[in-house]
Amino acid sequence: MTIKPELQYSKDHEWVKKEDDLFVIGISDFAQDALGDLVFVNLPEVGDAVTAGEAFGDVESVKAVSDLLSPVSGTVAEINEELLDAPEMLNNDPYGAWIIKVSDVTATEELLDAAAYEAFCAEA
């Protein structure tokens, strides 16, 4: 399992990277591995409000659907439309395949650094 040292992580296994005023959000390698082959992604629309701890979309594997829980509250500034046709990018390159970018962030969930996240996954 890969954990990128430069990223922060939520306890729901999303990663967060700050790019200027935007929060870039994806799912961790641990999450993609646990979910299995992803075959469909439901994304919010640009301009939608997202709330920390609440679903902003979902991903479907062959076997099941799982909510994507937002680590931050704010407004969706960009979505990764490539994922709509190629959800397997989340399996193949979880840290390259960002899902949404959020602006006007007003709150965040508790975020872990790489070392704390690694310890958290080890307990899971």
Q: Which residues bind another protein (CB under 8 A)?
A: 36-37, 39-40, 42, 60-63, 65, 84, 88, 91
**Could you tell me which of 55, 79, 58, 83 has the C-alpha nearest to residue 69?**
55
User: Between 66 and 103, whose beta carbon lies closer to another protein?
Assistant: 66
Q: How far is the CB of 65 from another protein (least distance, A)?
A: 7
Query: Residue 74 or residue 87: which is nearer to another protein going by CB?
Result: 87
Contact (Cβ atoms closer than 8 angstroms) between residue 65 and residue 58: yes
Give the distance, in angstroms, between the CA of residue 91 and the centroid of all CA atoms in the same chain.
12
Residue 38 CB, shortest distance to another protein, in Å, is 9
Query: Strands (DSSP E) along 36-112, which ranges?
Result: 38-42, 49-50, 55-61, 65-69, 72-79, 100-108
Q: Considering beta carbons, is residue 60 or 118 the nearer one to another protein?
A: 60
Q: Report in angstroms how near the CB of residue 46 gets to another protein at its nearest.
A: 17
Question: What b/e sequence results for 103-118 when a residue is b if at least 16 CB atoms lie within 10 Å of its CB, and e otherwise?
Answer: eebeebbebbeeeebe
Of 65 and 119, the one with the shorter C-beta distance to another protein is 65
CB of 98 to another protein, least distance (A): 20
